[in-house]
Amino acid sequence: MTDPNLSPASLSEEIEIPESISGLEPVRSVRSPIKLIYDFVPSPPVQEYLRSYSKKKILGHRSPIDGAVFVPPRGVDPRHGALIEESVELSDKGHVGNFCVTNLPIPGRDDLDIPYVSAWIHLDGANVGFLGLVAGCENDEVHIGMRVQAVWKKEEELGNTAENILYWEPTGEPSVPVEKAGNRAWDQRNE
């Protein structure tokens, strides 16, 4: 039986190569490049969200089941598989529900110095977190419950994209108690 621990080169030595191709370098890999092109059309809720977002408005979706507000809106309450049609405008203020200090760079984001803080921002009026960066303070000052506000791009740089908020900065307001911050409030709501 072939030893599975042998290197590919030593495996190839066991193969009897026909005379016509002996002496040639063995083929060890094959490249089959695949390129597929798609036309992705965002669904109406996503289109509405992106258009509003370019005007510094954050839209959420209110569940018809229990009124929970999801952001960004996806047209459905994923807990129940129920379609959502009601949009609500949310504040660009909220609190840090949870956060992470990252020491690895993001490919393509050379502008981002490490370590940086990414966080679930719980917008006032929303029931789920909204992903963003926290800056404008020392990383070790970031804490669960810290009140933050969006720092938007300049007017002329806004667009139909998820990149309109540069980061979230502390407001200096009193923090939300840890036991009421982020998804902990969600759990209490469901109790």
Residues of this chain that bind other proteins (CB under 8 A): 30, 32, 34, 36-44, 47, 74-83
Q: Which residues contact 93 (CB under 8 A, 6 or more apart)?
A: 123, 124, 147, 148, 149, 150, 171
- Residue 75 or residue 136: which is nearer to other proteins going by CB? 75
CB of 5 to other proteins, least distance (A): 25
Nearer to other proteins, 78 or 177 (CB): 78
For the CB of residue 188, give the shortest distance to other proteins in the complex, in Å.
Answer: 17
**Least Å from the CB of residue 64 to other proteins:** 12
Query: b/e for 102-135, b at 16 or more Cβ within 10 A?
Result: eeeeeeeeeeeeeebbbbbbbbebbbbbbebbbb
Strand partners, 86: 62
Report d(CA 176, CA 44) in Å as an integer: 34
CB of 140 vs other proteins, minimal distance in Å: 35
Which CB sits closer to other proteins, 50 or 76? 76
Query: For residues 43 and 161, which CB has a smaller minimum distance to other proteins in the complex?
Result: 43
The answer, yes or no, to whether the previous bond of 174 is cis (omega within 30 of 0) is no
Least distance to other proteins, CB of residue 77, Å: 8
The three-class DSSP label of residue 68 is coil
User: In the chain, what is the greatest distance between 2 CA atoms, to the nearest angstrom?
Assistant: 81
Nearer to other proteins, 16 or 40 (CB): 40
